[in-house]
């Protein structure tokens, strides 16, 4: 019969140690999320009220609420999504359904990695040079949103491509065998089977877009705008820039206000993420293959 | 025209549109290079002194006799990113190994979600955390006058870069076929032996890519570094020294420049430099990973 040798015992012990060490490493990484969230709730919680959420800042931002910034963030995210989702989905469709394995495809993939890797402040410079100045849109929601759209494009492309590739090849082949064109196959078979994954990616993009600061600083976000935006050509306040501004540029702001802003911002972002995650888990349960 | 014809035309049009979408990433990356270069070109060809730019620490764009030495900014970026990677790389790879190879069921799901949450925290919130939570904590713990510096920004940056490294590394581990693991286990290896002798060697290209992407993330981070580093032009000699990063300099100063001025051009020149460095990092990663894969 089997008896444990010294060697067995030693490998077992090594395994136990490795497991414990890696577990501690993981915990070290995730504990700060809980600490940060906890601190923001404790320090920012008292600032949150209906008045805080639904009124404008007053007295040089030392009092009042965040309503214009909230509305501005919604505008920025909505316009950015309108611009980036169609392009991103098209790019993913090309890569997943059409692209041959050639130099062009490799270049596209490299471009996507680079687009995701370019520093956010360089995206901001691009936004200034291209949208604000060259296309003469001026500092506005449109220019800021387009900058955000370019920056978050890889998020949509990668998520969409992944969910497209999760559709089994046999589904496509079955459809082609019925005489369908490539596009008919995509529209009737591939997209319906991957739409949920695409949506998950889009929600993730919302979360990412809502939190970005650097790309909008010089392209359309303003420290204080007395009115709510009427069109995409207005400048706007935004949650992320508002937090930066009152935390660093404005003096005499009571401590709970920036904590409150940070709490609301992080709640929006984490809520979006939670929806995206929940959606993904739910869909995994529905999967038929 | 019968129905089949219509479907054929629709197919062609769809293919053309999808192709345009496909090459959009290339168009945008070229666009970024062209437009950032366009705004910085006058300065690069005119007032820029490359010797000064790369070797002087005197970044005084607003003085009467302006100088544009970016060395301190480069050192600032490098020190913060380096400090961040020092603890973030081992922790992230360890976390990837635990989540990918050891954890099961609910624990695994919970940890993955927490890592995703870590990734979701916006950089401006990280910066605010650096200023308002870490800063007093560092002052108190180490009895130093200012808590904004390499240590603060490095810790923040490390935590920010960790989720990307963890996720990509875990993907790389997942990409190792289960048959490899089963073969090793059938020979009597413990799970740790399987990981050490089979999984890690088989996934090392992916792990390397993960680390490179983490470095790129740290290098390009703007708001958190701006808010947590102290933003003082300085060659750091201790982790508590304030530094200023390349990215943060652009973010802090662009709003105050006059369009077309030398200062404006100098900030776009920093942008060109940042773009080129990240481009080279990504290109290298791609080439290295491809090379390893071939072997």
Q: What string of H, E and C letters represents the secondary structure of A249-277?
A: HCCCCCCHHHHHHHHHHHHHHHHHHHHHH
B241 shares a domain with B97: yes
pLDDT tens figures, A98-142: 988 888 998 998 899 899 889 999 999 999 999 999 999 989 999
Asked if A67 reaches chain B (Cβ–Cβ under 8 Å), the answer is no
B31 to chain A: which residues are within 8 Å by CB?
126, 130, 150
CA distances B58 to A40, B236, B244, B247, B254, Å, are 38, 15, 12, 17, 18
- B213 neighbourhood in chain A, CB within 8 Å: 117
CA–CA separation, B70 and A4 (whole Å): 63
To which residue do tokens 């089949």 refer?
A: B4
Å from B152 to nearest chain A CA? 14
pLDDT for residue B28 is more than 80: yes
Query: Any idea what DSSP says for residue B67?
Result: E
- pLDDT of A191 over the 60 cut: yes
The answer to whether B200 faces chain A, any CB pair under 8 Å, is no
Point out the residue among A94, A211, A212 whose CB comes nearest to the CB of B21: A94
Residue-wise pLDDT for A131-162, tens only, equals 999 999 989 999 999 999 999 999 899 989 98
Q: Is residue B252 part of a domain?
A: no
Inspect the interface and report whether the beta carbons of B118 and A32 lie closer than 8 Å: yes
Q: Rounded CA gap, B129 and B195, in Å?
A: 36
B218 in the same domain as B77: yes
Average pLDDT over residues A49-54: 88
Residue B266 lies in a domain: no
What pLDDT score was predicted for residue A285? 77
In this structure, the strands spanning B59-60 and A57-58 are unpaired
Q: Are residues B91 and B232 in the same domain?
A: yes
Beta bridge partners of A57: A64
Confidence check: pLDDT of A14 > 90:
no
Q: Residue A289: what pLDDT?
A: 62
Same domain, B101 and B232: yes
Whether B117 and A122 lie within 8 Å, measured CB to CB: no
Question: Chain B residue closest to A239 (CA)?
Answer: B124
Which phi and psi (to 5°) does residue A110 adopt?
Answer: -65, -40
Residue ranges of B 70-109 with Cβ closer than 8 A to chain A: 90-92, 94-95, 97-99, 102-103, 109
Residues in chain B: 295
Q: What is the pLDDT of residue A232?
A: 87
| pLDDT of A279 | 82
B36 with A125: CB under 8 angstroms?
yes
| Distance in Å, alpha carbon of A220 to nearest chain B alpha carbon | 12
Contact B21 A19 (CB under 8 A): no
Burial class (CB in 10 A: 0-12, 13-18, 19+), B270: buried
Q: What is the pLDDT of residues A60-86, one digit of tens each?
A: 777 888 899 999 999 999 999 999 999
Per CB-CB distance under 8 Å, the chain B contacts of A273 are: 116-117, 120
Do B37 and B78 lie in one domain? The reply is no
Same domain, B39 and B76: no
- Asked if the structure places residue B52 within a domain, the reply is no
Helix (H, G, I), strand (E, B) or coil at B70: coil
**Please, which pLDDT band fits residue B295 given cuts at 50, 70 and 90?**
very low
Yes or no, beta carbons of B125 and A33 under 8 Å apart:
no
Residues in B 260-279 with any Cβ partner in A closer than 8 A:
267-268, 271, 274-275, 278-279
The per-residue pLDDT for range B146-179, each reduced to its tens digit, is 889 999 999 999 999 999 899 888 888 888 888 9
- φ, ψ (nearest 5 deg) of residue A58: -130, 170
Quickly state the pLDDT bin for B3 (edges 50, 70, 90). Answer: low
Could you tell me if residue B284 is inside a domain? Answer: no
Task: Express each pLDDT in B179-191 by its tens digit.
Answer: 998 999 898 888 8
* CB pairs < 8 Å spanning A and B: 287
Give yes or no for B1 touching A (CB within 8 A).
no
CA distance B8 to chain A (A): 7
DSSP code, position B121: S
Q: Please indicate, yes or no, whether residues B8 and B103 belong to a single structural domain of this protein.
A: no
B162, part of any domain:
yes
Segment among A33-37, A123-127, A252-256 with least mean pLDDT? A252-256
Q: Which of B18, B174, B212 to mutate to test the interface with A (most CBs of A within 10 A)?
A: B18
A207 and B CB contact within 8 Å: yes
Question: pLDDT class for A288, splitting at 50, 70, 90?
Answer: low
Look at residue A32 in the predicted model and tell me its pLDDT: 87
Q: According to the model, what pLDDT value does residue A274 have?
A: 87
**B137 and B36 in a common domain:** no
**Same-domain pairing of B203 and B154:** yes
The residue of chain B with its CA nearest to that of A281 is B109
Pair B22, B137 in one domain: no
Same domain (yes/no): B19, B88: no
Residue numbers of the domain that contains B23: 3-46
Same domain, B169 and B85: yes
> Which tens digits make up the pLDDT trace of A220-247?
888 888 788 888 898 999 999 999 999 9
CATH number of domain containing B76: 1.10.3720.10
Number of domains in chain B: 2
- A215-A219-A221-A222 Cα dihedral, nearest 10 degrees: 130
- What average pLDDT does chain A have? 88
Residue B55 lies in a domain: no
């Amino acid at each position: 019969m089997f008896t444990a040798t010294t060697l067995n015992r030693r490998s077992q012990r090594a395994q136990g140690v490795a497991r414990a060490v890696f577990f501690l490493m993981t915990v070290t990484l995730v504990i700060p999320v809980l600490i940060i969230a906890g601190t923001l709730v404790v320090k920012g919680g008292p600032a949150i009220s209906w008045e805080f959420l639904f009124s404008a800042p007053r007295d040089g931002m030392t009092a009042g609420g965040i309503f214009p910034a909230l509305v501005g963030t919604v505008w920025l995210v909505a316009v950015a999504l309108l611009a980036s989702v169609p392009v991103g989905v098209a790019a993913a469709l090309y890569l997943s359904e059409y692209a041959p394995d050639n130099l062009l495809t490799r270049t596209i993939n490299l471009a996507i990695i680079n687009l995701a890797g370019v520093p956010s402040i360089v995206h901001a410079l691009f936004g200034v040079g291209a949208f604000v100045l060259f296309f003469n849109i001026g500092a506005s929601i449109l220019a800021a949103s387009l900058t955000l759209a370019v920056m978050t494009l890889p998020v949509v492309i990668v998520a969409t491509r992944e969910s497209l590739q999760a559709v089994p090849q046999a589904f496509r082949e079955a459809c082609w065998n019925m005489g369908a064109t490539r596009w008919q196959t995509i529209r009737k078979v591939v997209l319906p089977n991957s739409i949920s994954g695409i949506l998950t990616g889009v929600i993730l993009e919302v979360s990412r877009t809502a939190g970005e600061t650097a790309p909008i600083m010089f392209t359309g976000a303003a420290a204080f705008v007395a009115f709510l935006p009427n069109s995409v050509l207005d400048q706007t306040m935004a949650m992320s820039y508002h937090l930066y501004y009152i935390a660093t540029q404005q003096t005499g702001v009571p401590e709970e206000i920036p904590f409150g802003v940070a709490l609301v911002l992080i709640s929006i972002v984490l809520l979006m993420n939670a929806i995206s995650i929940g959606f993904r888990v739910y869909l995994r349960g529905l999967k038929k293959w | 025209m019968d129905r089949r014809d219509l479907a054929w035309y629709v197919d062609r049009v769809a293919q053309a549109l999808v192709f345009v979408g496909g090459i959009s990433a290339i168009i945008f990356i070229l666009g970024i290079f062209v437009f950032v270069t366009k705004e910085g070109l006058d300065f690069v060809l005119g007032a820029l002194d490359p010797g000064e730019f790369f070797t002087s620490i005197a970044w005084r764009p607003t003085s009467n006799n302006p100088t544009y030495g970016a060395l301190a900014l480069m050192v600032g970026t490098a020190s913060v990113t380096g400090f961040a990677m020092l603890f973030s790389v081992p922790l992230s790879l360890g976390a990837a190994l635990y989540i990918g190879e050891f954890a099961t069921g609910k624990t695994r799901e919970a940890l993955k979600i927490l890592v995703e949450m870590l990734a979701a925290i916006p950089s401006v919130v990280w910066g605010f955390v650096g200023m308002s939570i870490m800063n007093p904590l560092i002052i108190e713990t180490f009895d130093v006058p200012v808590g904004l510096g390499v240590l603060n920004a490095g810790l923040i940056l490390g935590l920010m870069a960790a989720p990307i490294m963890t996720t990509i590394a875990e993907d790389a581990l997942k990409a190792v076929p289960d048959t490899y693991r089963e073969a090793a286990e059938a020979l009597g290896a413990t799970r740790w032996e399987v990981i050490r002798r089979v999984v890690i060697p088989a996934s090392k290209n992916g792990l390397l890519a993960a680390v490179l992407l983490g470095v790129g993330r740290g290098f390009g981070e703007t708001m958190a570094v701006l808010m947590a580093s102290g933003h003082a032009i300085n060659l750091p000699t201790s982790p508590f020294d304030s530094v200023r990063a390349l990215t943060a300099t652009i973010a802090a100063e662009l709003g105050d420049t006059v369009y077309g001025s030398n200062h404006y051009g100098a900030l776009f020149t920093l942008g060109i430099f940042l773009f080129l460095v990240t481009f080279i990092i990504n290109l290298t990663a791609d080439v290295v990973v491809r090379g390893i894969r071939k072997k």
